């Protein structure tokens, strides 16, 4: 059996609150939301829609970042830009948007990658923050909700490319494929 952690309605509130927090910090400023594929897709879409209610000059782009294989971190992050011209972040104020934060390794590597390519500032925003990781390498600037140390799927999060389409987030049951 699997356990629903956040319903679609609860996620809506978490994302709306994050947008309000970001808008308060970036009022009147140009901001690049940079989503990490593939897990960010529903979160980034909802976050940008909420941000459209505020005076933030928004643009959106993506990077592919991969560290997990199955249910475990490989310990290495592979970053693949979609655009071969990686000057897209030069002199921009960037917020990196990811679905979930565990050790922070993915976020740390991506933020360093962007700084090396001339971003004016780089912050991080994650929907979920796991607890219990013993080797946390940084702290996120914006985080939606804190969750227990379990493997979760739905709302963009996958297990071997399944479950991303669920409108809610659940803990993957032990016997589920
Ligand atoms: P970190 O690099 O912070 O240790 O791990 C973050 C990355 O690992 C996320 O971008 C996500 O791809 C993956 N990840 C971590 N925990 C989970 C989880 O519970 N479920 C899924 N589907 N992916 C996870
Ligand atoms: Mg990821």
Cβ pair 6, 169 in contact under 8 A: yes
Which ligand 1 atom lies nearest to the CA of residue 163? 22
Cβ pair 52, 44 in contact under 8 A: no
| pLDDT interval class at 176 (50, 70, 90) | confident
CA nearest 40: which of 17, 57, 15, 3? Answer: 15
- Summarised one tens digit per residue, pLDDT across range 30-75 is 999 999 999 999 999 999 999 999 999 999 999 999 887 777 777 8
- Whether the CB of 105 sits within 6 Å of ligand 1: yes
Q: How far away, in angstroms, is 75 Cα from ligand 2 center? A: 12
pLDDT > 90? residue 25: yes
- Summarised one tens digit per residue, pLDDT across range 117-174 is 999 999 999 999 999 888 898 999 999 999 999 999 999 999 999 999 999 999 998 7
How much is the pTM? 0.95
Q: Which domains does the chain have, with CATH numbers?
A: 9-147 (3.40.50.2020)
Q: How far away, in angstroms, is 164 Cα from ligand 1 center? A: 13
Question: What's the pLDDT at 70?
Answer: 75
**Longest CA–CA separation in the chain, Å:** 49
- Whether the CB of 128 sits within 6 Å of ligand 1: no
Q: Which ligand is nearest to the CA of 102?
A: 1
Query: Which neighbouring-strand residues pair with 66?
Result: 78
Q: How far away, in angstroms, is 99 Cα from ligand 2 center? A: 7
Question: What's the pLDDT at 5?
Answer: 95
Question: What's the pLDDT at 1?
Answer: 55
Question: Which is it for strands 57-69 and 72-81: parallel, antiparallel or unpaired?
Answer: antiparallel
Question: What's the pLDDT at 39?
Answer: 95
Burial classification of residue 108, based on how many CB atoms lie within 10 Å of its CB (0-12 exposed, 13-18 middle, 19 or more buried): middle
- Summarised one tens digit per residue, pLDDT across range 84-100 is 887 889 999 999 999 99
């Amino acid at each position: 059996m699997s356990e629903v952690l956040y319903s679609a309605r609860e996620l809506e509130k978490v994302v709306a609150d994050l947008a309000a927090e970001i808008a308060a910090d970036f009022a009147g400023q140009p901001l690049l939301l940079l989503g990490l594929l593939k897990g960010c897709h529903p979160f980034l879409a909802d976050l940008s829609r909420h941000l459209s209610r505020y005076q933030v000059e928004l643009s959106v782009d993506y990077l592919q970042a991969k560290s997990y294989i199955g249910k475990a971190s490989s310990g290495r992050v592979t970053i693949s830009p979609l655009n071969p011209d990686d000057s897209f972040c030069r002199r921009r104020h960037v917020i990196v948007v990811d679905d979930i934060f565990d050790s922070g390794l993915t976020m740390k590597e991506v933020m360093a990658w962007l700084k090396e390519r001339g971003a004016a500032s780089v912050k991080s925003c994650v929907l979920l923050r796991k607890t219990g990781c013993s080797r946390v390498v940084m702290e996120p600037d914006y985080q939606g909700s804190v969750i227990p140390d379990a493997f979760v799927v739905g709302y963009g999060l996958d297990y071997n490319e399944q479950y991303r389409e669920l409108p809610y987030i659940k803990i993957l049951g032990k016997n589920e494929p």
